[in-house]
């Protein structure tokens, strides 16, 4: 079982929406030990296929762009498994729904945090806006601290 699973998600072709995968890749670069207890996934969307990996970890950290925060702001908050919203589901899920899926199908939903990065633009393009690009470092530090806390508590 992994100690921490970091999932950065979003569409890299839609401007700041790609910040989740960008940060996931930053984290992966820093944790290049294949024996690491930290797993990193960069993907477009959350889908049910991630449920088994989520159930098989001690803590999960979701990383995504946010339309609710000011561009460049970073916020970390807890996420709980939640009732599924049937109208919104085809093949993508919210973190709360993925946690609930993990619990329902594989018997457990670990404690989870969501790191949100305020986005400025979702226009077509593969580059982040300057304010979101600047926030990548801050978000990465926040995630590293959270990983360190989790590893200490499981030591």
Binding site for other proteins (CB under 8 A): 11, 13, 43-45, 48-49, 51-52, 84-92, 100-101, 104-106
Closer to other proteins by Cβ: residue 55 or 112: 55
Closer to other proteins by Cβ: residue 95 or 113: 95
Structure tokens at 66: 């946010």
User: Shortest CA distance to 117 belongs to which of 13, 16, 3?
Assistant: 16
Neighbours of 49 (CB within 10 A): 11
CA distance linking residue 52 with residue 49, whole number of Å: 7
Minimum distance of other proteins from residue 106's CB (angstroms): 8
Closer to other proteins by Cβ: residue 100 or 147: 100
Minimum distance of other proteins from residue 90's CB (angstroms): 6
């Amino acid at each position: 079982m992994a100690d921490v699973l970091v999932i950065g998600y979003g569409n890299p072709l839609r401007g700041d929406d790609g910040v989740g995968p960008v940060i996931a890749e930053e984290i992966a670069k820093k944790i290049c030990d294949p024996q690491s207890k930290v797993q990193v996934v960069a993907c477009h969307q959350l889908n049910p296929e991630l449920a088994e990996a989520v159930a098989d970890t001690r803590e999960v950290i979701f990383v995504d762009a946010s339309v609710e925060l000011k561009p460049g702001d970073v916020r970390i908050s807890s996420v709980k498994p939640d009732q599924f919203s049937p109208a919104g589901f085809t093949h993508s899920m919210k973190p709360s729904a993925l946690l609930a899926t993990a619990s329902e199908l594989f018997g457990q939903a670990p404690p989870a945090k969501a790191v949100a990065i305020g986005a400025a633009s979702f226009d077509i393009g593969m580059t982040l806006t300057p304010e979101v690009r600047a926030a990548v470092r801050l978000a990465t530090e926040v995630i590293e601290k959270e990983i360190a806390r989790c590893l200490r508590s499981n030591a």
